[in-house]
């Protein structure tokens, strides 16, 4: 059984790594997806690169903001323009294993579509693609817990949950959240907290995404 998946790729000045990221996404063994790309007024050649790649793959739907709208608005636009029953944000400088989507979907099938978020463990790489950390176990799982149990557990498991936001979400669940709120400092953490308060969450133990640390980010 195939399901319709939307991948949301927010972009701002990512020309240095964007081609590698897109190669890893477009080479996925699970091919039934649309890739919604929203360029946030890049000026480094990212948009021109995206235009060229869009011509080669009909799954890509490219949009461009006339001015930079900020991170949260751009993330939200990728979801707004999507149509899949399940949605996932893509990091524009990260690298994905070819079976990333297929293994998340396999997990979703095994859980009888009862989970609102499926994500994987990750590795960390630097600007040159060298491995900083081979495996980082991220996030937490919730299975059929009631609301009170969830609220009690959350403070104890929430640390290190930010990478969960790059997992596969049920569209219906995302629509019940604030998505990426513009009113908080860490909108990704708020989103995960909202999902965890109401839905089931599962993790794939394999390392399926390499998160790239660069600019002045601290590992």
pLDDT digit string (tens) for 130-152?
999 999 998 888 887 776 777 76
**pTM of the full predicted structure?**
0.92
- pLDDT at residue number 159: 66
- pLDDT at residue number 186: 86
Tokens 């996925």 sit on residue: 28
Spatial distance between the Cα atoms of 118 and 195, rounded to a whole number of angstroms: 11
- pLDDT at residue number 135: 96
> Cα 180 vs. chain centroid, distance in angstroms?
12
- pLDDT at residue number 165: 94
- pLDDT at residue number 57: 96
Spatial distance between the Cα atoms of 80 and 190, rounded to a whole number of angstroms: 19
- pLDDT at residue number 198: 87
- pLDDT at residue number 219: 45
DSSP 3-49: --EEEEEEESS-HHHHHHHHHHHHT-S---EEEEEEE-S--SSHHHH
- pLDDT at residue number 160: 61
Q: What is the pLDDT along the chain (219 residues), one digit of tens a residue?
A: 678 999 999 999 999 999 999 999 999 999 999 999 999 999 999 999 999 999 999 999 999 999 999 999 999 999 999 999 999 999 999 999 999 999 999 999 998 889 999 999 999 999 999 999 999 998 888 887 776 777 766 665 666 667 999 999 999 999 999 999 988 888 888 899 899 888 899 999 999 999 999 865 554
Q: Give residue-wise pLDDT tens across range 149-177.
A: 777 666 656 666 679 999 999 999 999 99
Nearest to 3 by CA among 120, 80, 112: 112
* Contact predicate 121/136, CB 8 Å: yes
- pLDDT at residue number 3: 87
CB atoms within 10 A of CB 114: 13
């Amino acid at each position: 059984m195939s399901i319709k998946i939307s991948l949301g790729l927010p972009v701002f000045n990512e020309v240095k790594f964007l081609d590698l990221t897109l190669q890893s996404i477009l080479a996925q063994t699970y091919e039934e997806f649309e890739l919604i790309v929203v360029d946030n007024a890049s000026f480094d050649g990212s948009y021109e690169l995206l235009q060229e790649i869009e011509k080669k793959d009909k799954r890509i739907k490219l949009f461009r903001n006339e001015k930079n709208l900020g991170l949260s608005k751009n993330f939200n636009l990728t979801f707004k323009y999507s149509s899949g029953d399940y949605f996932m944000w893509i990091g524009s400088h990260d690298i994905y294993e070819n079976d990333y989507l297929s293994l998340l979907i396999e997990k979703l099938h095994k859980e009888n579509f009862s989970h609102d978020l499926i994500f994987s463990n990750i590795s960390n790489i630097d600007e040159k693609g060298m491995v900083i950390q081979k495996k980082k176990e991220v996030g937490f799982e919730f299975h059929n817990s009631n609301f009170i149990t969830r609220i009690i557990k959350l403070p104890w498991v929430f640390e290190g949950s930010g990478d969960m936001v790059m997992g596969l979400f049920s569209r219906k669940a995302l629509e019940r959240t604030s998505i990426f709120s513009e009113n908080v400092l860490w909108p990704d953490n708020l989103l995960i907290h909202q999902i965890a308060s109401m839905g089931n969450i599962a993790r794939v133990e394999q390392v399926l995404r390499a998160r790239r640390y660069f600019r002045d980010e601290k590992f």
